[in-house]
Amino acid sequence: MPRWIPLESNPDVLNQWSRKAGLAHNAAFDDIYGLDEGLLAMVPQPVKAIVLLFPITPQSESKRKQEDEEIDKNGQPSIDPTLLWIKQTIPNACGTMGLIHAIANSDVTVSPASPLAKFIDECQGKTPEERAKLLETTPLFETIHSEAASGGQSAVPTNLDTDLHFTCFVAAPAARGPGSEGAGLRVVELDGRRKGPIDRGECTDLLQDVAKIVQEIYIKGGPESLQFSMMSLGPA
């Protein structure tokens, strides 16, 4: 399977992709410049989803493996079954995956006749693997991805191997079950490389909560890197 061109972590690139896919003009992606209170206060509210670009390192891969093993062994809180999650099978498609996960699982407006609206509708009732196959066989998304990737500020790389990866965070209702009344919202991470959606805990403020999660899980204990980047989906 051919590798797609990696998407640049740049709101202009993400918004170019989103507009062509069908996101309405009253919503947009914006930079999150840092995790301290003053910089978080600059982010347009309300935040509907957050996309994180992070470096894949030996430390992050070890932590990912350990976390997957713990979930396999001990389970996790039930995930809202209406969330749309897709298994990533296309190399370097994590940018498109993160954008689909962010928009499809938020209450932002998507044009009913758009490629994204049709894709989301066709995903209903399918397994994550079937959704992945649908993405593989929908050439329009490869075209949108390629055009957005080629429209960034950086030159298109000739070597398409990358050690950077996009993941996405959304707020979702706690799955209903015995004793779950009033359970509220949960922060859920949607990463196509994982075995499924990951419950990251109670959601009181998506932006603040994700900032703490990123600091604790992705940054703390890892090598210093300038390759972390976060963007929010919110009002234009």
Q: State the distance between the two ends of the chain, measured CA to CA, in whole angstroms.
A: 36
The verdict on whether 94 is a catalytic residue reads: yes
Instruction: Compute the distance between CA of residue 91 and CA of residue 96 in angstroms, rounded to an integer.
Output: 11
Structure tokens at 168: 């996405």
Is the peptide bond preceding residue 46 cis, with omega within 30 degrees of 0? yes
The verdict on whether 101 is a catalytic residue reads: no
Structure letter (DSSP) for residue 208: H
**Positive or negative torsion for Cα 97, 74, 56, 129:** negative
Q: Which one, of 168, 172, 89, lies nearest residue 127 by Cα? A: 89
Query: Which one of 94, 123, 168, 203 is the catalytic residue?
Result: 94
Query: Which one of 123, 165, 168, 203 is the catalytic residue?
Result: 165
Q: For the residues of 69-136, what is the DSSP string, one character each?
A: HHHHHH--SPPPTT-------STTTHHHHHHHHHHHTS---B-TTSHHHHHHHHHTT--HHHHHHHHH
Catalytic residues: 94, 165
